[in-house]
Structure 1
Amino acid sequence: MARGNPSIAIAGAGFSGIGLAVRLKQAGFTDLTVYDKAGGPGGVWRDNTYPGAACDAPSHLYSYSFEPKPDWTRRFAEQPEILDYLRHCATKYGLHRHLRLNTEITDAEFDAASGRWRLHTAGGGIHEHDLFVAACGQLSNPSVPRLPGLDTFAGEAFHSARWNHDLDLSGRHVAVVGNGASAIQFVPLIAPAAASLTVFQIEVHWISRKPDREYPRWRHALNRRVPAAQKLSRLGIFLWFEVLLNPALISPRGRRTLSAPIRVLCRYALRSVRDRDLRRRLTPRYEPGCKRILTSSEYYETLNRDNVHVVEDPITEVTPHGVRTASGDHDADTIIFATGFRSQDFVAPMRVTGAHGTELSAAWKDGARAYLGLAVPGFPNFFLMYGPNTNVGSGSIVHMLESQAAYIVQAVRLLGTGVTTLDVRADVLDAFDATAQRRLGTSVWNQGGCDSWYLDADHRNTNNWPGSMTAYRRRTRHLNPSDYHLTH
């Protein structure tokens, strides 16, 4: 390690990896490499190109604070514009010379003798670095259910995150498995052309109307000439999430106060479904917020179409010509899985091995845990971004990522002053995790009566942060060296 300029490896070139790389360069650290298995930056916004893909957090907050975009075309930006924004950031801040694309890290192992991380790539390459950051995200590995008979299906089948753009859906009989955040975006756009579209509903969701709109040109001009106007808009959105929505998810008192208004808003949107029986089937029986509240102004209207059907029965098997449930066979020549991601894998399929030969998967056999979602005992000089218990039920993950980037920059500064390794203490993680799980225990995610991707098989909440975005920013503002075992 060159004194003052540690060698840093970042796995992932999405919002996490790009944001961290920028902050490291701004802090004067230039010996950094951002690895990504794909051919360009963008992460989830590069991979999810399904029709209608868009963010459900307002654009002015779902962007870096250090790189405001004055000319967002609409309040909730769509995938192409978000991807362009990330590419712009990579170019503006000179990251392309640090990007190592089409390079998948398969194994990462800490060498105790040298105090360095040794990374192995799918192509057989080996690279060594002083510090390693997994910026893979929670939503990078698509989850496809293991349905009996799927291998016998004679038609086309794909996951929404791997959309088949070569397939023309016009006149086809489409089965959509899942009805979550991605499905409610693409179903309204593909339904008009399909001969039939059947949504196999896994679990109902609370859905409110999406307050989306295009920004006029005068707003773009105002943002450019008076930057404070855009900052004020960002602050207003931030306070909406922090002061109103966040307490409705975490605080028992807030849940009691705000649950009723949220139900009213969602049921108002549900009134657009004409069939009374279907409205009943689309009404959740769990508390609002237990799953992320979805937003759409087109999904319910689409369900009124004659060629669109909703099936609640669980799928028992896939046949060569469709999908079978307890109620019978449903013809289909196309299956689209809108079944989300393997959100609790965090770094999979990459294998990470710590100082004592322990793999991260073994360390997490009882559930993923990391101090502040960032550091794991026994894995020196290793940090995660968007790790365990850092997801937000309301708000913008970008705000959380910037907090994590600032914390990691402090760790790199320590390495640049003669410290060889930082290894978070086990008792520090235990205390943090106990407090986090206790607070999560009274949250709507744990007590709301649903089964969500936030909870693992043991009903342990491994994904969500049990507080506000402000609280997380405060906890990560200063790295306390006494939280770590340090070697020099």
Structure 2
Amino acid sequence: MNAPTQATDTVADTTSIEALRERYRVERDKRLRGDGNDQYIEVDGEFSHYIDDPYVKPGFSRDPVKRQVDVVLIGGGFGGLQAGARLREAGVEDIVIVEKGGDFGGTWYWNRYPGAQCDVESYVYLPLLEELNYVPTQKYAQAPEILAHSRAIAKHYRLYDDALLQTEVTKMQWDESTCRWQVTTDRGDVLAARFIAMANGPLNRPKLPGIPGIESFRGHSFHTSRWDYDYTGGDADGGLDKLRDKRVAIIGTGATAVQCVPHLAATAQQLFVFQRTPSGIDVRDNCATDPQWAAGLEPGWQRARMENFNALVSGVPQAEDMVNDGWTDIVGKTLRMLHEGANDASGRSLAETLELANAEKMNEIRARCNQLIADPETADKLKPWYAMFCKRPCFHDEYLQSFNNANVTLIDTDGEGVTRINEHSIVAAGQEYEVDCIIYATGFEVGTSYERRAGYEMIGSAGRSLTDKWSEGINSLHGMAVNEFPNCFIMSQMQGGFTVNYPHMLDELAVHIAHIVSHAQQHGIERVEATTEAEQGWTQTIVDKGMNGAVLGGETCTPGYYNNEGQPNPLAAQAAPYGEGPIAFFELLRQWREAGDFSGLKLESTDAGQH
């Protein structure tokens, strides 16, 4: 179906907006699937090699650790690093971090594909820059630098001392008799933890598409989060010289593919990019850090910059846009339109103004395809027809131009996806393509059960798992503390303060957790647990203040992990972020700490008395 021509024009009135909505709906409907998240294969059994760690030497072994510990942190990414750092600063010394990778870094340990870099400005994205007296070398740091910074944080806060690397948790169960969590691992460890914090992150377990025949492929294949440089040659900077005689296919066109496609295009004999839904590609405009600017930074600079960015992407006007990038640009458009609307007779509502600003920004992104791609047909196929934030926005200055290369072919499936994989070929859009290698840029487990994403289950004081506890909807206090799961803290965006700059939110949670744990240690408190009334009250607050996504596309959003693959989730309202936004949520946590009464938590001392 052809979209109305108005949908490609400059959006300025309700007529063209309605045409755009209809185009969005048509494109969404092409991609809706009845199987939702079940379209992806769990990476185990015959597919388990896709999660093998290619960055460590095989044969690692050590003696099992069996001991009591004050705090066990699950995950060595930014969440675990920041929790460890803030606990250390609060005087908590006995900390064990359990991490399945061979080192710290989390997502940045696994994602070493060529071209990987942060897409939120590194001066606000990388944690604890002032604490380590470090300024990134680029506005958008490359993956090796981010991994090195992660290691530097771990060294600075002595988190390597008792870390259990190359180790996976197999089970965690609350022991009422000892008031501790029994944490077991695949290395035979048994840790009796006074407190635990779940910092496994939302992007830690890769997923594969459930394409018929995927198990039959006889060529080479790997997932981008386990990049095989032995096969491709080169390194994180590119130079994939071993692909010069290879026909390479990459499946997926999200943020990862956007960053690695230019490097594949530079060397592969033939590159086929299989696209179900195009990403919106805005300007990256990366640059080296100005040494004079870095030398002039004053104490408190990172916190001020983080808060400025967070305010702008949350729609709060600021006297200055310190970051000034694609993330803040759409907010700037919205504020300008709001100002213009207040001074003319348009009579537009806030929702209409937001939608117009969004449409204007997406028109700019679609126009970039025409500007940068020589073939008009290819340019049209790379245009995203959905509202911004329906899918994660991408930023890059070489991706679109890659399709001008004679050795690069875009296989646009018009929303259908790859039809089949054979022993030596891929079938899509009615044609078969012989390939030597398939690279899966298909992302991570999001939206599946906690046990499936984490690889283990938690059994609380009532003898039931967290999955069972939340089977009828998430309940928590501030997204962190859960009734029946004492002395346990969850670090996620559920029922919390979602922000584009995820590490900023993790730091706020880390400060909060360290405050509670250090108070417990100082006052002989053995058990900290959210009350049923508190978690019910907070969940009701989340539902009452629910974030309204309609202005960003709502029912016209193309399916993706942001919206549960386009499937309505009756329990989603309970899991939503705090509706007043991250700034208000962070302030709420600060005031809670300052009040000092630990409202909503039941604190029990060693003498079984309540505090």
TM-score of the two chains, using structure 1 as the length reference: 0.90
1:473 aligns with 586
Q: Assess if the C-alpha contact under 8 Å between 2:95 and 2:159 holds in 1.
A: no
Cα deviation for residue 474 of structure 1 reads 1.2
- Equivalent residue for 1:36, pick from 99, 107, 110: 99
Match 1:328 to one of 431, 449, 456: 431
**1:324-364 CA distances to partner (integer Å, 9 max, x unpaired)?**
12412111111111111112355511211111111112223
Residue 364 of structure 2 aligns with an amino acid whose one-letter code is L
- Counterpart in 1 of 2:604? 487
CA distance in structure 1 between the partners assigned to 2:247 and 2:579 by the alignment: 43
Please give the alpha-carbon distance, in whole angstroms, between the structure 1 residues aligned to 2:562 and 2:476. 15
Q: 1:119 deviation in Å? A: 0.2
Residue 440 (structure 1) aligned with residue 547 (structure 2):
yes
Between the aligned residues of both structures, percent identity stands at 27
Aligned AA (2:418) = I
Letter in 2 for 1:415: A
- Residue equivalent to 1:192: 266
Q: 1:197, 1:189 → 2: CA distance? A: 11
- Which piece of structure 1 moves more, 135-144 or 90-99? 90-99
SS of 2:500's equivalent? Answer: coil
More displaced 10-residue stretch of structure 1: 184-193 or 319-328: 319-328
Residue 207 of structure 2 is aligned to residue 146 of structure 1: no
The gaps in structure 1 that reach 5 residues or longer are none
Please say if residues 275 and 411 of structure 2, whose CA atoms lie closer than 8 Å, have aligned partners that are also in contact.
yes
d(CA) in 2 for partners of 1:363 and 1:45? 31
Taking structure 1 as reference, are residues 196 and 135 closer, same or farther at Cα in structure 2, changes over 3 Å only? same
d(CA) in 1 for partners of 2:530, 2:159:
29
Give the aligned partner of residue 365 of structure 2.
266
Q: Is the 8 A contact 2:459 2:465 kept in 1?
A: yes
Q: Is the 1:131–1:381 Cα contact (8 Å) retained in structure 2?
A: yes
- Aligned residue type for 2:516: A
- Are 2:528 and 2:604, in contact at CA under 8 Å, matched by a contact in 1? yes
- The equivalences for 1:148-227 within 5 A come to 148-168=212-232, 169-223=243-297, 226-227=298-299
The answer to whether the Cα contact below 8 Å between 1:144 and 1:339 also exists between their aligned partners in 2 is yes
In 1, the alpha carbon distance for the partners of 2:353 and 2:527 equals: 42
Residue 52 (structure 1) shift: 0.5
Pick from 355, 359, 370 the counterpart of residue 256 of structure 1: 355
Match of 2:85 in 1: 22
Query: Do the aligned partners of residues 309 and 369 (structure 1) sit closer, same or farther apart at CA in structure 2, a change above 3 Å counting?
Result: farther
Shift in alpha-carbon separation, 1:74–1:133, aligned structure 2, 3 A:
same
- How far 1:424 sits from its partner (Å)? 1.5
Partner secondary structure for residue 174 of structure 2: strand
| 1:301/1:41 CA distance change after superposition, 3 Å | same
> 2:87, 2:518 within 8 Å by CA — same for their partners in 1?
no
Deviation per residue, 1:261-295 (Å, 9 max, x gap) = 42243134222122222232222222112112111
Q: 1:288 aligns with which of 388, 392, 395?
A: 388
Which whole-Å CA distance do the structure 2 matches of 1:234 and 1:378 have between them?
Answer: 35
1:278-357 matched pairs, under 5 angstroms:
278-313=378-413, 314-344=417-447, 345=449, 348-357=454-463
In 2, Cα distance between equivalents of 1:79 and 1:367: 36
TM-score (norm 2): 0.73
Tell me whether 138-147 or 421-430 shows the greater mean CA deviation: 421-430
Report the residue type matching 2:262 in the other structure: P
Which of 563, 578, 595 aligns to 1:455? It is 563
Describe the superposition over 1:368-407 as per-residue Cα deviations: whole angstroms up to 9, x where unpaired.
Answer: 5543221222211111112525574x53111101110111
- 1:429 is aligned to 535
1:9–1:230 CA distance, 2 compared to 1 (3 A): closer
Cα distance change of structure 1 residues 446 and 430 upon mapping to structure 2, 3 Å threshold: farther
Deviates more, 1:399-408 or 1:58-67: 58-67
The one of 407, 411, 416 aligned to 2:516: 411
Structure 2: which amino acid aligns with 1:109?
Answer: Q
CA–CA distance in structure 1, aligned partners of residues 292 and 496 of structure 2? 37
Q: Which moved more, 1:204-213 or 1:81-90?
A: 204-213
Q: Which residue of 2 aligns with 1:67?
A: 131
Q: Residue 258 of structure 1: CA displacement?
A: 2.5
- In the alignment, structure 2 segments of 5+ residues that lack a partner are 1-67, 233-242, 318-327, 336-349, 606-611
Query: Could you tell me how far 1:6 is from its partner in structure 2?
Result: 7.7
Alignment partners' CA distance in 2, 1:467 and 1:452 = 24
Deviation string for 1:131-158 (max 9, x for gaps)? 1111100000111112221221111111
3-state DSSP of counterpart to 1:24:
helix
In structure 1, distance between residues paired with 2:456 and 2:202: 13
**Matching residue's letter, 2:197:** V
Q: Structure 1 counterpart of 2:529, which letter?
A: D
Rg: which structure is higher? 2
Shift of residue 303, structure 1, vs aligned partner: 1.6
Are 2:496 and 2:582, in contact at CA under 8 Å, matched by a contact in 1?
A: no
Residue 51 of structure 1 deviates from its aligned partner by 0.3
Q: Is the CA contact 2:70–2:195 (under 8 Å) kept in the aligned structure 1?
A: yes
* Residues in 2 aligned to 1:362 and 1:349: alpha-carbon distance in whole angstroms: 15
Relative to structure 1, the CA distance from residue 463 to residue 137 in structure 2 (aligned partners, 3 Å threshold; closer, same or farther) is: farther
Contact 1:60/1:69 (<8 A) preserved: no
1:58-137 equivalences under 5 Å are 58-65=121-128, 66-67=130-131, 70-137=134-201
Whether the aligned pair in 1 keeps the contact of 2:390 and 2:563 (CA below 8 Å) is: no
Cα distance change of structure 1 residues 22 and 233 upon mapping to structure 2, 3 Å threshold: closer
Q: Does the CA-based 8 Å contact 1:33-1:99 persist in structure 2? A: yes
Supply the distance in 2 between the matched residues of 1:232 and 1:415 (Cα, whole angstroms): 31
In structure 2, C-alpha distance between the alignment counterparts of 1:76 and 1:140, rounded to whole Å: 22
Q: Measured at CA, do residues 68 and 25 of structure 1 come closer, stay the same or move farther in structure 2, by a change above 3 Å?
A: closer
